[in-house]
Amino acid sequence: MRHTISLLVENEYGMLTRVAGLFSARGYQIDTLNVAPTLEEGVSRMTLTTHGNDHVIQQILQQSHKLIKVLEVTDMTAAPHVEREMVMLTVNAHVGEQRREVLSLVEIFRAKVVDVSNDAFILEMTGNAEKVNAFIELLKPIGILDIVRTGPVAMTRVAHIKAQKVKDDDEEFSELTLNEKV
Amino acid sequence: MKMRGARILLESLRCEGVKHVFGYPGGAVLHIYDELVKHAEELGITHYLVRHEQASLFGAAGYAQATGKTGVALVTSGPGGTNAVTGIANAFMDSLPLVVFTGQVPTHLIGNDAFQEADLTGITRSCTKHNYLVKHVEELAPTIKEAFHVASTGRPGPVLVDLPKDMTAQEIEFSYPETIEIRSYKPQIFGEPKAVRKAVKAMIQAERPVLYIGGGAHAAGAYEEVRQLAEKLNLPTTCTLMGLGAFPASHPLSLGMLGMHGGYWTNMAVNNCDLLISIGARFDDRVTGKISEFARGAKFIHVDIDASCIGKNVRCDYPVVGDAKTVAQQMLKELEEQLGGGARIAAKDAWHEQIAAWKKQHPFWWKEEGDVIKPQYVIHELHRITKGQAVVSADVGQHQMWTAQLYGFDAPKNWLNSGGLGAMGYGFPAAVGAAVARPDDLCVAVVGDGGFQMVLNELATVKQYNIPVKILLINNGFLGMVRQWQEQFYEHRYSHSNIEVQPDFVKLADSYGVTAFRATKMNEVTHTLEKGLNTPGPVLIEMKVAREENVFPIVPAGAALKDMILQ
Ligand SMILES: Cc1ncc(C[n+]2csc(CCOP(=O)(O)OP(=O)(O)O)c2C)c(N)n1
């Protein structure tokens, strides 16, 4: 199953290779990867997607947690969350029918035209992977000249974080859940 | 006081209480060596010049295994670092606390393919617990502090600090941080109380339990706690190769070693138990054999400081993340609460009888054949003569397994070997490290003729510093363990395992100025051993043993424990 994993890491020299190296050394696959700074100076967030059975995902979580400079590891998939990725596409948009068709898709998908020429647009769209895939499929017959995708970033839903906090305060030993999952 | 980086390194080592460094010089570490010759004595640091960088790592590892303290190695950039990699990987696999200092080309040359440049942090990323490249001299002392902290806490391991030459030349005010706080690194020491409670309940209820102790018990120093647990609950107790000595071999509850070359009774006990209580062990494939057949009827308790170890190889019913010693203490307390006043559970008689019967059925054995020296007998005699009290370091191969089976380690930290990586060449230099750390103890390196020839240049080291290691060379003229597999699993096709072309080891030792003795017949063994062990200083004792002796029992690779071959 596909999992989205979020890592908070010290933004130190070589951090990306430490995480990537762990995955390759242990035979796990990184499908997509995003790295960017957080509000806290020196701390970056990596969001990656991977796949595997429960055992593999457990190992991925724990092995990455073991890296000395990893602050936090979260399997976003385990809780309600929002995922978004961005895609940019250069598509055929010859003046006339084709251009109107592209624009109507842009509207339906709430995408944006960010660059225009006589016969092509650059489009920008964000959404979850499903929506991005659907957008791409619909544009294919029109002619995609180039494409870049970011892969997803993810955030836990606010309501869930609040609920979890209450639960943690209630529970005598909150780590137990982590241990028991092992 | 302002001082250059090289001096700061040495001052930092003093602050860490480091007394011994194993190393080898070169261009990138010349400033450090210059400071060593000027200040080592006043700082109370002794540097041992080895004859190959790998030996500096093995020496530091032996030092760590024999003391529990962090071993320190120092090598130069490029080839110095790459020569050290096997030693680093070994310490990583066996969770030994080491801090390794490597030279690096000056910061402005990094990435330029400069002379003797190698990306050592890159190369060692997957075989260190963590590594550092020092890019600003202000970071030097804090980095060293952090390196020692990371190496020795949690699940210990090797940490590498790469030192560009300009970092050892630049001057700065020296101050060593008293404490260190790494917000992303907080090993879990205490076991989660609910998890401990559940595990202890299962321990009390078990009818056929086995306690299974690994190297983690050494790392945590959990000896007393483990013994008490075993005694309070009357638990048959086995040790892994790395755990030997954590529980006394002569204890009535001891089952000896389990796994590929473990005892028949031990493996049968593990295979038929209803509860396997693992403390600081990792269910390595050499222990479990075929994983789907491993202790099928048992529930597993797994205590480990490394959460990623739990559930990695086998399912786990009662996981407890924490330090072996602390968790064992928690368990003892919990036991008292659940049982009241230290009650001892005697109700496992049938189980103990069954194990005793297995042991009687197939104990360790060897056959005497006239004059030919049997290697097992040599180890047996070594044990008898040293009363089981020596520090014994083994290399890798058949002799290692016979030593593990037959030496009977009663005291902790007396057994050194390369368990996880299985690196030939470990035994002799590791014994050097142990002998440096424990000058009052007899240190014996049991080595094969193959592995010894990978590191015999260290004869110069032991001679130079008069390090009293006794090298017990079990010479069968074969890469014995390889030959055994070829005999058993490749229809006797001895492909490139015959190494009978070899030096006259006695003359060789003699040429280094190292005293040497040789025995070629059974009736010379005892006498030669006694003479060798009683001769002061470094000594080589060569035993010309039966050429095609096999280690039994053996669980063929990938087979189930119950399918072990007995003879
Ligand atoms: C560096 C290294 N290379 C190869 C091996 C594979 N290997 C394992 S045991 C062994 C034979 C060891 O022979 P020897 O040192 O003579 O000891 P014996 O088995 O005869 O006691 C070999 C080659 C290894 N463990 N380490």
Cβ(B463)–Cβ(B435) below 8 Å: no
CA proximity to B546, closest of B378, B340, B363? B378
CB contact under 8 Å between B150 and A18, yes or no, is no
User: Radius of gyration (Cα) for chain A, nearest Å?
Assistant: 20
Residue B217 tokens read as 């018990």
Kindly list the strands in the beta sheet with B237-239, ordered across the sheet, starting from the edge strand earlier in the chain: B254-257, B237-239, B209-213, B275-279, B299-304, B318-321
CB contact under 8 Å between A179 and B130, yes or no, is no
Q: Tens digit of pLDDT for each residue in B182-215?
A: 999 999 999 999 999 999 999 999 999 999 999 9
Residue B298 tokens read as 């048992």
In this model, does residue B100 exceed pLDDT 50? yes
Distance of residue B412 Cα from the nearest chain A Cα, in angstroms: 28
The reported pLDDT for the residue numbered A173 is 39
Cβ(B221)–Cβ(B68) below 8 Å: yes
What is the Cα A178 distance to its own chain's centre? 23
Catalytic residue status for B333: no
The reported pLDDT for the residue numbered A179 is 35
Indicate the average pLDDT of chain B. 97
Closest in B133, B319, B321 to A13, CB measured? B133
Q: Identify all chain B residues contacting A172, using CB atoms and an 8 Å cutoff.
A: 194
User: Rounded to an integer, what distance in angstroms lies between the CA atom of residue B469 and that of residue B441?
Assistant: 10
A with B: how many residue pairs have Cβ under 8 Å apart? 65
Maximum pairwise Cα distance, chain A: 67
Distance of residue A63 Cα from the nearest chain B Cα, in angstroms: 6
Of A169-173, B92-96, B344-348, B494-498, which gets the smallest average pLDDT? A169-173
**3-class secondary structure per residue, chain A:** CEEEEEEEEECCCCHHHHHHHHHHHCCCCCCEEEEEECCCCCEEEEEEEEECCHHHHHHHHHHHHHCCCEEEEEEHHHCCEEEEEEEEEEEECCCCHHHHHHHHHHHHCCCEEEEECCCEEEEEEEECHHHHHHHHHHHHHHCEEEEEECCCEEEECHHHHHHHHHHHHHCCCCHHHHHHHC
Ligand 1 atom showing the smallest separation from residue B480 Cα: 20
Using most ligand atoms within 8 A of CB, pick from B58, B424, B476, B483 the residue to mutate for ligand 1.
B424
For chain B, percent of residues with pLDDT exceeding 90: 97
Cβ(B502)–Cβ(B466) below 8 Å: no
Give the sign of the dihedral formed by CA B106, CA B112, CA B116, CA B119: positive
Q: Tens digit of pLDDT for each residue in B233-262?
A: 999 999 999 999 999 999 999 999 999 999
Q: Is B325 exposed, middle or buried (0-12, 13-18, 19+ CB in 10 A)?
A: buried
Q: Tens digit of pLDDT for each residue in B44-54?
A: 999 999 999 99
Distance of residue B184 Cα from the nearest chain A Cα, in angstroms: 4
CA angle B61–B306–B227, rounded 5-degree value: 75
Cα–Cα distance list, B212 to B76, B229, B349, B391 (Å): 41, 12, 19, 23
CA dihedral B461, B462, B466, B468 (to 10 degrees): 160
The reported pLDDT for the residue numbered B347 is 66
Q: Is A100 exposed, middle or buried (0-12, 13-18, 19+ CB in 10 A)?
A: exposed
Cβ(B31)–Cβ(B6) below 8 Å: yes
Q: Tens digit of pLDDT for each residue in B278-306?
A: 999 999 999 999 999 999 999 999 999 99
Closest in B133, B195, B308 to A62, CB measured? B308
User: Rounded to an integer, what distance in angstroms lies between the CA atom of residue A125 and that of residue A106?
Assistant: 8
In which residue are the tokens 């040359």 written?
B109
Query: At a CB cut-off of 8 Å and minimum separation 6, what does B527 contact?
Result: B519
Model ipTM? Answer: 0.90
Q: How many CB atoms lie within 10 A of CB B524?
A: 17
Q: Which amino acid is at A49?
A: T
User: Rounded to an integer, what distance in angstroms lies between the CA atom of residue A72 and that of residue B184?
Assistant: 8
Give the sign of the dihedral formed by CA B505, CA B508, CA B512, CA B514: positive
Query: At a CB cut-off of 8 Å and minimum separation 6, what does B299 contact?
Result: B202, B206, B274, B275, B276, B317, B318
Chain A residue closest in CA terms to B123:
A21
The reported pLDDT for the residue numbered B341 is 60
State the best of A11, A13, A175, A182 to mutate against chain B, taking most chain B CBs within 10 Å: A182
The reported pLDDT for the residue numbered A180 is 35
CA proximity to A135, closest of A100, A94, A104? A104
Q: Which amino acid is at B43?
A: L
The reported pLDDT for the residue numbered A66 is 96
Cβ(B49)–Cβ(B24) below 8 Å: yes
Q: Which amino acid is at A82?
A: V
CA B395 to ligand 1 center in whole angstroms: 8
In which residue are the tokens 């839903």 written?
A157
SS3 B253: coil
DSSP element (H, E) containing B326: helix B324-339
CA proximity to B503, closest of B455, B427, B449? B449
**DSSP-assigned beta bridge partners for residue B288:** none
What's the average model confidence in pLDDT over B1-19? 97
In this model, does residue B170 exceed pLDDT 50? yes
Give the sign of the dihedral formed by CA B441, CA B446, CA B451, CA B455: positive
Cβ(B56)–Cβ(B84) below 8 Å: yes
Query: At a CB cut-off of 8 Å and minimum separation 6, what does B353 contact?
Result: none
CB contact under 8 Å between A173 and B192, yes or no, is yes
Reading chain A (182 residues) residue by residue, the pLDDT tens digits are 999 999 999 999 899 999 999 999 999 999 999 999 999 999 999 999 999 999 999 999 999 999 999 999 999 998 999 999 999 999 999 999 999 999 999 999 999 999 999 999 999 999 999 999 999 999 999 999 999 999 999 999 988 877 777 665 554 433 333 333 32
Residue B463 tokens read as 């001679």
**DSSP-assigned beta bridge partners for residue B58:** none
pTM, rounded to two decimals: 0.95
Cα–Cα distance list, A76 to A154, A158, B37, B136, B206 (Å): 7, 13, 56, 37, 39
In which residue are the tokens 């990938």 written?
B558
User: Rounded to an integer, what distance in angstroms lies between the CA atom of residue B278 and that of residue A76?
Assistant: 32
Catalytic residue status for B257: no
In angstroms, the first-to-last Cα distance of chain B is 68
Q: Is B132 exposed, middle or buried (0-12, 13-18, 19+ CB in 10 A)?
A: buried
In this model, does residue B116 exceed pLDDT 90? yes
CA proximity to B302, closest of B203, B400, B439, B404? B203
List ligand 1's pocket residues with C-beta within 6 A. B 395-399, 422-424, 448-451, 474, 476, 478-482
- Preceding omega of B248 cis (within 30 degrees of 0): no
Chain B residue closest in CA terms to A179:
B319
CA angle B166–B168–B173, rounded 5-degree value: 110
CA proximity to B547, closest of B502, B489, B490? B502
CA proximity to B122, closest of B162, B165, B154, B93? B162
Q: Tens digit of pLDDT for each residue in B405-460?
A: 999 999 999 999 999 999 999 999 999 999 999 999 999 999 999 999 999 999 99
CA proximity to A19, closest of A7, A32, A31? A7
- Which residues does A contribute to its contact with B (CB < 8 Å)? 9-10, 13-14, 17-18, 21-22, 25, 55, 58-59, 62-63, 65-71, 172-173, 175-176, 178-180, 182
- Helical segments of B96-222, H only: 120-123, 140-152, 165-169, 193-205, 215-220
Q: Is B24 exposed, middle or buried (0-12, 13-18, 19+ CB in 10 A)?
A: buried
DSSP element (H, E) containing B111: none
Query: Backbone dihedral region of B370: left (phi > 0), alpha (psi from -120 to 50 degrees) or beta?
Result: left
Catalytic residue status for B338: no
Length of chain A: 182
